Amino acid sequence: MKLIKMLPLAVLLLCNVSAYAQLFPHGEGFTRQDTLRGSITPERAWWDLQHYSLDIKVVPEQQFISGTNTITYKVTQQANRFQVDLQAPMKLEKAVQNGEELKIEHDGNAHFVTIKADQNIGESYEITLHFSGKPVVAQRPPWDGGLTWTKDSNGLPFIANANQGIGSSVWWPNKDHPSDEPDKGAIIKVEVPENLMDVSNGRLIKTERNRKAKTKTYTWEVKNPINNYGININIGDYVHFSEKYQGEKGELDMDYYVLRENLDKAKEQFKDAVRMMEAFEHWFGPYPFYEDGYKLVEVPYLGMEHQSSVTYGNKYGNGYLGRDLSGTGWGLKFDFIIIHESGHEWFANNITNKDVADMWVHEGFTAYSENLFLDYFYGKEASSEYVMGTRMAINNDRPVIGTYDVNYEGSGDMYYKGANLLHTIRQIINDDEKWREILRGLNKEFYHQTVTTKQVESYISTQAGTDLSPVFDQYLRDIRIPIFSYTIKNGTLAYRWENTVNNFNMPLKIWVNGQEKWLKPSTQWQTVKLETAEAKIIVDKNFYVAKMNVMGE
């Protein structure tokens, strides 16, 4: 079918919503720059990030940014060489501590600052980085991250960043590695022309006007830890409306910033935001950032999961730019960008991968959240049809988990193969309330933390009461789809798993002549006596597996 041929491309575009398709040009030929970016170098390891204070000026007509970032950090090991990241053509001009300019050694996108003052273990210090330049322009945002400089229909500047794949250091200097987030949040201070507004993360705490310079400065405060790529600037002729949501932790501020011309459309379309919050608090637990509120902000690209400042560009319609990526019709019941990108508040922003090789923790769970939204409002059958429909987009080209310590993600299958892995585990557990408690428990156990895949796997196995290691290995670290092979002879069913990792032993639900039966296949042949000599075998379609009658019958 035409849809089947087109869906992988459509979902490749989907993956780019969170910058997956910004593929690394070197393939697996990793460079020193990849290691400097993707590993916890000695120059990163000795200091624990506490707070960012970003103070910038944006000049739209020149596509120019200048400013400072003051980093507060705590010393955990004895050292004095400090790595910070900033990508060309942006320039790191100087680093200052205690009023004294420090020496900087430049190595591509990594910059090494030699600290002069004593750095006492357990103490906190500040360093201020001065920078400026014209950051990389995203040619097809958000697919090739950078800054977008465009205009609205009235000719006013409309500007935003989207930089998950390429990295936040594409426009401001920081510790550009996901393992360390500022424990005490951030201040984001943005000066823009006076006829525009900046919307960033957290809460607006101050607006200042400079009549002489004809600018306004907006200061936003984030109280929670925040991942670097989640920090954003959105600049335009915004209008604002809001509502209060009575959530699990009390009253939550839900704020919306849209272009003036789209206010009426937004008031209708953004009703999905409250529906999202209701469904996801049910499945995942309380929204993780009550202190910072929830915002949905219109931008000139498709969308991104910027923490407490989710960006939106889905043209005020349901589906993914009007399309249903599952091919089932269920994907047109909701605005894909509102649901998917907001789902990342739990998986990506609350629970963040320590290494981008484990990006499936962000994308697999969030792709899975789409069908849980359907489950909450339209029922279990609708959600199952949706997630199974997305299997058409799975390529099984390379493992879902990428290569560690070189800033290299796994396959784009992390989205819907990840979702179908989780849907399959739900079937194995066979207890929806327990499954819900596991999902909520993940967000409680790893609240505001960076994690590894192994931590997530271990938690799910422990709470499920069964070792799911072979299942995770099969779907995350292998590209083969398990095959349930069987044959029936003289009323005896013989069966086993094939096309699997060693020791694969996933339980499986089948129907024998319409009667439900659970099996525990392994990679060795097993047999079970059936009630009749002739039998029709149906494998539960909710399991992401194939089946084969080895006799060809």
Least-confidence region, from 141-145, 168-172, 204-208, 222-226: 141-145
**Taking 90 as the threshold, does the pLDDT of residue 14 lie above it?**
no
CB 327 within 8 A of CB 341: no
Tell me: pLDDT of 270 over 60.
Answer: yes
Pick from 204, 182, 190, 163: nearest CA to 66: 190
Mean pLDDT, the chain, as a whole number? 94
pLDDT band at 25 (very low <50, low <70, confident <90, very high): very low
Distance in Å from the first CA to the final CA of the chain: 26
* Each residue's pLDDT tens digit, 451-462: 999 999 999 999
Q: How confident is the model at residue 4 (pLDDT cuts 50, 70, 90)?
A: very low
185: number of Cβ within 10 Å: 21
What does the pLDDT average to over 358-375?
98
pLDDT confidence of residue 27: 52
Compute the average pLDDT of residues 187-198. Answer: 98
The pLDDT of residue 180 is 98
- Flag the least confident range among 165-179, 332-346, 528-542: 528-542
Cβ–Cβ contacts within 10 Å for residue 242, how many?
Answer: 12
Per-residue confidence (pLDDT) for residue 515, from 0 to 100? 94
Task: Kindly report, residue by residue over 272-321, the tens digit of the pLDDT.
Answer: 999 999 999 999 999 999 999 999 999 999 999 999 999 999 999 999 99
Is pLDDT of 22 > 90? no
Average pLDDT over residues 208-220: 98
Is pLDDT of 83 > 80? Answer: yes
Token pair of 104 as six digits: 């900087």
Q: Are 174 and 53 in contact (CB under 8 A)?
A: no
Q: What's residue 28's pLDDT? A: 61
Q: pLDDT tens digits for 461-519? A: 999 999 999 999 999 999 999 999 999 998 999 999 999 999 999 999 999 999 999 99
List, in sequence order, every beta strand (DSSP E) within 109-236: 110-114, 124-133, 146-151, 157-162, 186-193, 197-199, 203-210, 215-222, 234-236
**Residue 378 scores a pLDDT above 60:** yes
pLDDT at 29: 87
For residue 13, name the pLDDT band (cuts at 50, 70, 90): very low
The residue that leads in pLDDT, 85 or 533, is 85
- Specify the pLDDT at position 389: 98
d(CA 549, CA 411) in angstroms, rounded, equals 30
Distance (Å, whole) CA 164 – CA 4: 28
Of the CA atoms within 13 Å of residue 501, those in its CB half-sphere come to 16
Continuous H helices in 379-532: 380-389, 416-429, 432-445, 453-464, 469-477
pLDDT at 143: 77
| Percent of the chain scoring above 90 in pLDDT | 92
pLDDT at 15 over 70: no
Q: Quick one: 528 exposed, middle or buried, by C-beta within 10 A (0-12, 13-18, 19+)? A: exposed
Output the pLDDT for position 159.
98
pTM for the model stands at 0.94
* C-alpha separations of 191 from 37, 159, 234, 296 in Å: 29, 13, 12, 21
pLDDT-above-70 percentage for the chain? 95
Q: What is the DSSP string of 28-86?
A: T---HHHHHHHS--HHHHTEEEEEEEEEEEEEGGGTEEEEEEEEEEEE-SS--EEEEE-
Distance CA(133)–CA(126), nearest Å, equals 23
Q: What pLDDT is attached to residue 552?
A: 73
pLDDT in tens, 109-135: 999 999 999 999 999 999 999 999 999
